[in-house]
């Protein structure tokens, strides 16, 4: 039986820290452009209480999203100890392309995956490089696609990257701008014959009837800003309610397909979107099996790294596997779940045995 395993991981965490206190001088506005009555200290304190975010990372102005993806890819290739010329595919998940610092245009020509292949110096034309736009679940979906290529017999080694520079598409007058950050994570997915490890099952869904525009591009809350410039916007309450209802069910679907009992799930690596939301999702997931939430089952990185969209899950996985998250580790043979939710609205989950 052919399975797909992750043989190497890597991440790039930008060096520029932006603590919550650095938003004290921001002029936060309501969606209609009116002033928010609360002082910034209160706004920031409430924000931290809900999201858990204390600080986030921003990329240096000299680096773009594809650069961050390249840095993470290098580390994953080194960790897997493979020759990059042997890669059959490079799949890069992002949402906004390369947005230069202080610019307003997204650059996706050529694709970011092609740019990473160029930076890696890969000469093999049979190494196919392409991007996917799938919201925050993009990297998880890239891993699912890598498995499909391997099971189909058309690939044996795939590089999957999630990279983003959200700090360059946020409206500084929108309180939600404090959520977003920059970063990149990557992994190598390889063919693994006859081993009882790797990807056991997965589930993916797109809800678009009423949910398609829960996340969208919109104008600044400051009505004096250029009306032709757009920023990332979201209907936070709708996303929260959607995620709590649907993500646990998708995770259950994936786990039930695997045939693995809930008691064997040791870690859930979930998209780092909002601490309170993630905690509620995990509680509902285990409640579906009438099982209490195991202590330490949900590693978190959002407190210091914020929400870097497609980069959150691979970065968190890399940090835990490398021993860089306190009191968190994964042992050989343990079952974990990778799960995400985001623009689309898209949801996915992977059940994986190490």
Q: Give the phi and the psi of residue 136 in degrees, each rounded to 5.
A: -60, -30
Q: Give the phi and the psi of residue 70 in degrees, each rounded to 5.
A: -65, -45
The number of domains in the chain is: 2
CATH number of the domain encompassing residue 211 = 3.40.47.10
Q: Among 174, 195, 216, which residue terminates a domain? A: 195
**What is the per-residue pLDDT across 4-16, written as a single tens digit (0 to 9) for each?**
999 999 999 999 9
Half-sphere exposure (CA, 13 Å, Cβ side) for 65?
Answer: 31
pLDDT(247) > 60: yes
Residue 309 is part of which domain span? 199-353
Both 149 and 239 in a single domain? no
Q: What is the pLDDT of residue 105?
A: 85
Both 167 and 123 in a single domain? yes
Q: What is the pLDDT of residue 2?
A: 66
Half-sphere exposure (CA, 13 Å, Cβ side) for 106?
Answer: 17
pLDDT category at 196 given cuts 50, 70, 90 is confident
* pTM for this model (two decimals): 0.95
Both 184 and 211 in a single domain? no
% of the chain exceeding 70 in pLDDT:
99
Both 115 and 164 in a single domain? yes
**What is the per-residue pLDDT across 46-59, written as a single tens digit (0 to 9) for each?**
999 999 999 999 99
Q: Among 156, 180, 195, which residue terminates a domain? A: 195
Q: Are 209 and 163 in contact (CB under 8 A)?
A: no
Query: In the chain, where do the E strands start and end?
Result: 2-12, 16-19, 55-58, 89-93, 128-132, 157-165, 182-193, 198-206, 215-218, 231-234, 265-270, 335-342, 346-353
Find the mean pLDDT for residues 315-342: 96
**What is the per-residue pLDDT across 216-238, written as a single tens digit (0 to 9) for each?**
999 999 999 988 899 999 999 99
Both 113 and 100 in a single domain? yes
Q: What is the pLDDT of residue 228?
A: 86
Q: Say how many Å lie between the first and final Cα of the chain, rounded.
A: 16
Q: Among 159, 178, 195, which residue terminates a domain? A: 195
**What is the per-residue pLDDT across 155-172, written as a single tens digit (0 to 9) for each?**
999 999 999 999 999 999
pLDDT(97) > 80: yes
């Amino acid at each position: 039986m052919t399975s797909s395993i992750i043989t190497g991981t890597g991440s790039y965490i930008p060096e520029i820290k932006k603590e919550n206190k650095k938003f004290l001088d921001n002029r936060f506005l309501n969606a209609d452009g009116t002033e928010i009555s609360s002082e910034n200290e209160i706004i920031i304190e409430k924000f931290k209480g809900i999201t858990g975010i204390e600080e986030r990372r921003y990329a240096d102005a000299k680096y773009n999203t594809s650069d961050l993806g390249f840095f993470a890819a290098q580390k994953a290739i080194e960790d897997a100890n493979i020759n990059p010329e042997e890669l059959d595919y490079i799949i890069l998940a992002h949402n906004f392309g390369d947005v230069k610092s202080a610019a307003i245009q997204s650059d996706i020509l050529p694709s970011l995956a092609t740019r990473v292949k160029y930076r890696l110096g890969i000469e093999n034309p049979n190494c196919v490089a392409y991007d996917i736009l799938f919201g925050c679940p993009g990297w998880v979906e890239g891993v699912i696609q890598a498995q499909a290529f391997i099971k189909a017999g058309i690939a044996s080694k795939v590089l999957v990257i999630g990279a983003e520079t959200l700090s360059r598409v946020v409206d500084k007058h929108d309180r939600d701008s404090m959520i977003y950050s920059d970063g990149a994570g990557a992994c190598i997915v390889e063919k693994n014959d006859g081993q009882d490890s790797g990807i056991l099952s997965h589930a993916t869904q797109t809800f678009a009837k009423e949910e398609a525009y829960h996340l969208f591009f919109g104008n600044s809350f400051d009505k004096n800003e250029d009306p032709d410039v757009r920023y990332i916007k979201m209907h936070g309450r709708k996303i929260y309610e959607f995620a709590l209802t649907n993500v646990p069910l998708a995770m259950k679907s994936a786990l039930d397909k695997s045939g693995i009992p809930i008691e064997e799930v040791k870690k859930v690596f979930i998209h780092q979107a909002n601490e309170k939301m993630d905690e509620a999702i995990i509680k509902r997931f285990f409640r579906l099996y009438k099982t209490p939430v195991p202590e330490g089952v949900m590693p978190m990185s959002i407190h210091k790294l914020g929400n870097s969209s497609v980069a959150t899950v691979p970065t968190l996985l890399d940090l835990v596997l490398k021993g860089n998250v306190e009191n968190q580790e994964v042992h050989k043979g343990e079952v974990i779940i990778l799960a995400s939710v985001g623009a689309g609205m898209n949801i996915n989950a992977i059940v994986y045995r190490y």
